[in-house]
Structure 1
């Protein structure tokens, strides 16, 4: 009998991500909680403070951003992993939040153009196979003047830390498709967004980006 957690020789990068996150889903909240307190502290609050109107969260995962969104926001989430999405549905129900949660690929968002006022992506572009394509899709579904809000770990500004990240990637890219030396800000600029805010924290390893789609 085949092992569903084992990669097949013909497995695509997207299928690999679905497999990895389906397998990680039961333990994800427990594993990320420490990093959120130490590495990404305040990041989810930062995102929630800036969303407006019709909000799409790309790669919503287990829905850990849901408690931080304002009550008047209309929420939609898309997630590649069915197992992660199941947890997000339970979290939304526990919070009493109405959220349209759908299974889908960040690189091919299942929404019409100009459907959202805000797009959020947190701690996910580090592992999406083609991040530039995902950012282009985020731009497509935003209205003119819409907000793009990103939170992610990126290549450090300190060479010794960046070298350690590069070494770590030798394992994480192969096993989970996760990168530590990527940086999303140049991709956001290349996609034609206007940068409103960009800040780096924790020796430059964490970046928050607030950009708008040109009218």
Structure 2
């Protein structure tokens, strides 16, 4: 089987690991402009709401680490070993203690009710089964625990939505990256209570604060 054929039959999770391993060396440089112009204070918004024992799902290169309060304990899960290695360097450079592990968002390696806050930023757009990931986030949260999400989502403006749909015909097939997904229906379907829901940039960026019912 040649490499093209092998990739055609590649498991979605294995594909994501390969894609993000390849992207890791240039990820921070590429994301700097996007985050500044599209996310605004999104990561600061997440950090300001984090409390207690924090789990960041798909922590990437650790771009949210500088924004967490000093009094929280941080655990991070990342599918890509290359991204995780950079997150560990980020934590070391910040002098921040964090338990950073390789793991799959759809199968979190933690007992029920292990965390007070779960954070996920720019990842539900590419996790193969986002509903399964949200269900896992709910499982590991304590009753009353906080779920904090930030992602690009389907725009509320039809011209932008049309472009998103066209782009993901390529990115979905090649990299498992989708632009017309939406976080809110997944969160409500999983039984969370939404506390804050904000959309901006033509409705194409969304941040959510929800809680697991006590």
- Name the structure 1 match of 2:197: 198
**Are residues 1:118 and 2:117 paired?**
yes
**Are residues 1:144 and 2:175 paired?**
no
Q: Secondary structure at the match of 1:32?
A: helix
Deviating above 6 A after TM superposition, structure 1's stretches of 4 or more consecutive aligned residues are 2-6
Take 2:4 and 2:73, find their aligned partners in 1: how far apart are those partners? 35
- Contact 1:5–1:19 (8 Å) recurs in 2: no
After superposition, where does 1:53-72 map in structure 2 within 5 Å?
53-72=52-71
- Name the structure 1 match of 2:40: 41
Q: Structure 1 unaligned segments of length 5 or more: list them.
A: none
Q: Secondary structure at the match of 1:129?
A: coil
- Name the structure 2 match of 1:27: 26
- Name the structure 2 match of 1:131: 130
- Larger % of helix: which? 2
How far residue 135 of structure 1 moved from its aligned partner, in angstroms, is: 0.1
Take 1:60 and 1:6, find their aligned partners in 2: how far apart are those partners? 31
Q: Structure 2 unaligned segments of length 5 or more: list them.
A: none
- Contact 1:20–1:176 (8 Å) recurs in 2: yes
The count of residues paired between Structure 1 and Structure 2 equals 214
How far residue 3 of structure 1 moved from its aligned partner, in angstroms, is: 9.3
How far residue 8 of structure 1 moved from its aligned partner, in angstroms, is: 3.1
- Contact 1:5–1:23 (8 Å) recurs in 2: no
CA pair 80-6 structure 1, distance change in 2 beyond 3 A:
farther
- Name the structure 1 match of 2:173: 174
- Name the structure 1 match of 2:164: 165
State the TM-score, normalized to the length of structure 2.
Answer: 0.97
- Contact 1:156–1:203 (8 Å) recurs in 2: yes
CA pair 4-117 structure 1, distance change in 2 beyond 3 A:
farther
CA pair 5-34 structure 1, distance change in 2 beyond 3 A:
farther
- Name the structure 1 match of 2:83: 84
Q: Secondary structure at the match of 2:203?
A: coil
How far residue 9 of structure 1 moved from its aligned partner, in angstroms, is: 3.9
- Name the structure 2 match of 1:98: 97
Residues 180-209 of structure 1: CA deviation (Å, up to 9, x unaligned): 000010010000000000000000000000
Take 1:4 and 1:34, find their aligned partners in 2: how far apart are those partners? 33
CA pair 21-83 structure 1, distance change in 2 beyond 3 A:
same
Q: Secondary structure at the match of 1:187?
A: helix
Take 1:155 and 1:137, find their aligned partners in 2: how far apart are those partners? 23
- Contact 1:19–1:81 (8 Å) recurs in 2: yes
Quote the RMSD (CA, aligned, Å).
Answer: 1.5
**Are residues 1:74 and 2:105 paired?**
no
